[in-house]
Amino acid sequence: MAEVRRFINRAQAGKLLAKALDAYAHQPQAIVLALPRGGVPVAFAVAMTLELELDILLVRKLGLPGQPEYAIGAVGSGGVLILQAGVPGLMGVTKEQVDAVQARELLEIERRTLLYRGTRPQPLLAGRDVLIVDDGIATGSTMQAAIEVARRHGARRVVVAAPVAPPDTLAALAPLADEVTCLAAPPYFRAVSQWYETFDQTSDEEVQELLTMAWRAEADRRPHTSLRQANREDTT
């Protein structure tokens, strides 16, 4: 088996991922949704390369009490809850503990929504091709919640896209999404950070900056898109 090379950083991984998603380039019905925070730099590179609208989809991992890095599920806006098989009960986790973790993470989703979006309205997903992008996928529970959120908002097609993920996670996500695009699926997978040379924590400030740049670029493209549409209508 060929050796899996590490990505330099999230920006480089996003540019490579964009090449694999080239079929969606310049498609007005397509939208890139980043999973903050780490997924935003990757998704920004994808959206800018393909000239697509960029936005965020807020979901949060539910960590095992006492071992928060171990995911027992995920929660998303609109009441979406995904739990690992056997939870509650697994490793002694009670329903009360699950409820407490869920409530805490929903508050964090509210905080980030206000921080990142402000008064900007949520993007319309109904009838659109939704490309959900993260910097990597481990257990897949967070991505499952993201897929469910997109489905509930009427997405026509849901595409899961990430630079790296373990093969078993990709196999579990395949039946849930319309398409799964992943650049590397190493069999010996311990953590997403293992597959990046630079994997610094993405700050709230970086997320805000990248979103502002993407939204400004989208606003600049809209007049040209409307003009092209008008010209097509005039010639029919």
Please state the pTM of the whole predicted model: 0.87
pLDDT of residue 236: 44
**How does residue 162 score in pLDDT terms, banded at 50, 70 and 90?**
very high
Average pLDDT over residues 98-106: 90
Average pLDDT over residues 64-79: 81
Alpha-carbon gap, residue 21 to 188, rounded angstroms: 25
**Which single residue is written with the structure tokens 């329903």?**
95
- Mean pLDDT for all residues in the chain: 89
pLDDT of residue 223: 62
Is there a domain that residue 179 lies in? Answer: yes
Number of domains, the chain: 1
Is there a domain that residue 5 lies in? Answer: no
The alpha carbon dihedral of 148, 149, 153, 158 has a sign of negative
pLDDT of residue 3: 55
More confident residue, 158 or 95: 158
Is there a domain that residue 3 lies in? Answer: no
Alpha-carbon gap, residue 37 to 14, rounded angstroms: 14
Alpha-carbon gap, residue 105 to 98, rounded angstroms: 11
Q: Per-residue pLDDT tens for 133-150?
A: 999 999 898 899 999 999
Q: What SS3 state is found at 21?
A: coil
Tell me how far CA of residue 85 lies from CA of 72, 91, 139, 214, in angstroms: 8, 11, 12, 38
pLDDT of residue 228: 43
Is there a domain that residue 4 lies in? Answer: no
- Residue 127, C-beta contacts closer than 8 angstroms, at least 6 positions apart: 29, 154, 155, 156
Alpha-carbon gap, residue 216 to 219, rounded angstroms: 5
Q: Per-residue pLDDT tens for 196-228?
A: 999 999 999 999 999 999 999 999 987 654 434
pLDDT of residue 232: 42
Q: What SS3 state is found at 140?
A: coil
Is there a domain that residue 1 lies in? Answer: no
- Here the CATH number for the domain that contains residue 200 is 3.40.50.2020
**Which single residue is written with the structure tokens 């029919």?**
236
Average pLDDT over residues 97-118: 91
Average pLDDT over residues 48-60: 96
**How does residue 73 score in pLDDT terms, banded at 50, 70 and 90?**
confident
- The domain of 171 spans 10-234
pLDDT of residue 4: 67
pLDDT of residue 11: 98
Alpha-carbon gap, residue 53 to 50, rounded angstroms: 9
